[in-house]
Amino acid sequence: MENLEFLTEEEKDAMSVNDLAIYLDLLKLIKSELEGIKEGE
Amino acid sequence: MNEEIKRTSGLQAKLEENGVNASLDELINFKQTVDNLFTKDTLTEEQRAVIATKMEKLISAYDKIAAISQRKISNQEKAARIEKELGTVPDDFIRQATKEIENVDEKMNSKIKGIKSKVKELFANATKSIGGFIDSHIAQKKEEAEQINKQETALIKNPEKKGALKRLFSILKENPADWKEVEQEDGTIKLINEEGEIRGIIETKDAPHWAAVEQSVLDAKRAFGFVNKIKTFVAQEKAGSTIPTQEEKAKNAEKKAKAEKSIGKINKNKKEIEETLANAEKGALEHAEQRGKQVKEGGRSIETIKGLLQSFKDAYMNTKDNAQIIGNTLRIWDAKDDSKKNAKKLDKLNEQKAKLEKQIKKAQNSKIKADTSLKEHTEAKAEAKQRIASRKEARRGADGMEH
């Protein structure tokens, strides 16, 4: 799998608040899934 | 909001002139305006495409993580598989994601703050613009009233036009103790005493030369000793003021009341508009606050996020469509420019055509003159021939007689 990339500062600055919120939710979902696995270790 | 003012005043145009990039309706129905600010971006097509790709990869990563998470294997094994899939250990990714989440959170806070500032700016500009417009509207009304006054004064200054002579006559008539009779005839007021003698003549025929009137009044004073009222009247007329009749007084009062009512009404409207805008601003800021909280709370499912990402990509398509539309519009404008150039060419051609037509007319006139001249010449020639022939005929006749 290709390396995951976060958005650049420039990209985030140009995005709308609503679009940034989608990105934020996505990051939170991934983080939450990973933390779930980690907690169960 | 006073609909009539909105409709008739060109208020929207004034707002636009002053850089208020929202319509009045948008300001008053502020929720949509605020929501629009939350969806406003400055992304280029390229940025949108890059972001969409990055997000798709993150979604795909989430799907894979979720699938691994569901598998009935040990968590250590899950972590190992995820590491293999993500190319990084979960812990590292969690750290990076945490940092990124904090960064995005700060960025969103800053953007929401920016939206609130924008809302304040929008309303401040609108209020200033509307206030300025209404003030100028009031100034215009006052100017109109002033103009009416000036016109009235100008009319009154000319006694022949505005009945000053009539008023002067009334003043003289109101003081019968000083003269028995007052006659008015052809711009002349005659003051007659008890004996029926004309003791004073006030010439008003050449008014507004009030100096002449005043002189007559002074003459009258010598005759009757009472002219103060008239003197005051003349002085006022000369100074440009007036002694209006009751009817004029009433009319002026009516006009004044109307103007004051109108200005009062405008001021009331101004107050109403300002109050409406102030309330709308308050509501807009509250809505921005709530909307910000709601957006930040998030909690969207991955399915919702997938759907929203599709909309994000569709917006890219819309941008492309819009670019296409703008391109077409520009081409139309270019075509319009061409038609302007063509119009200029046409104007030149029309000028040339007019010149040629003038020349043709001139040539035609010359031809007509030449034809007339030729005709006259031919006729004269024919007449001469006729005369010669007649003379010859006469001579032949005479010769015959002699033989």
* B219 or B63: which leads in pLDDT: B63
Interchain CB contact of A32 with B (< 8 Å):
no
Give the pLDDT score at A16.
93
Render A1-41 in DSSP notation, one character per residue: -PPP-PPPHHHHHHS-HHHHHHHHHHHHHHHHHHHHHHHT-
Averaged confidence pLDDT in chain B: 72
Chain B residues with beta carbon closer than 8 angstroms to that of A7: 51, 54
Give the model's pLDDT for residue B225. 46
**Does pTM top 0.90 for this prediction?**
no
pLDDT in tens, B255-305: 777 877 888 887 877 787 788 888 889 999 999 999 999 998 888 899 999
The answer to whether the Cβ–Cβ distance between B58 and A26 falls below 8 Å is: yes
The residues, ordered by sequence, that sit 6+ positions from B159 with a Cβ below 8 Å of its Cβ are B165, B168, B204, B207, B208, B237
- Of the two residues B46 and B214, the one the predictor is more confident about is B46
Rounded (10°) angle between helices A17-39 and B90-157: 160
Nearest of B137, B156, B59 to residue B67 by alpha carbon: B59
Instruction: Say what percent of chain B tops pLDDT 70.
Output: 53
pLDDT digits (tens, 9 = 90+) for B98-127: 999 999 999 999 999 999 999 998 888 888
Q: What is the pLDDT of residue B16?
A: 64
Residue B170: which pLDDT band, with cuts at 50, 70 and 90? low
The pLDDT value given to residue B402: 55
Task: Find the range with the poorest average confidence among A21-35, B134-148, B363-377.
Answer: B363-377
Q: List the single best residue of B37, B59, B65, B287 to mutate versus A (max A Cβ within 10 A).
A: B65
Segment holding B138, helix H or strand E: helix B90-157
User: B386 vs B115, which has greater pLDDT?
Assistant: B115
Q: What is the ipTM of this complex?
A: 0.94
CA closest to A5 among chain B residues: B54
Residue A21 has pLDDT above 90, yes or no: yes
SS3 B22: coil
- Segment B325-334 shows an average pLDDT of 49
Whether B317 has a pLDDT exceeding 80, the answer reads no
Q: Is B389 a residue whose pLDDT tops 50?
A: yes
pLDDT score at B255 = 78
How close, in Å, is residue A22 to chain B by CA atoms?
6
Taking only the tens place, the pLDDT of each residue in A22-40 is: 999 999 999 999 998 876 6
Of B147 and B218, the structure prediction assigns the larger pLDDT to: B147
For residue B368, the tally of other CB atoms under 10 A from its CB is: 10
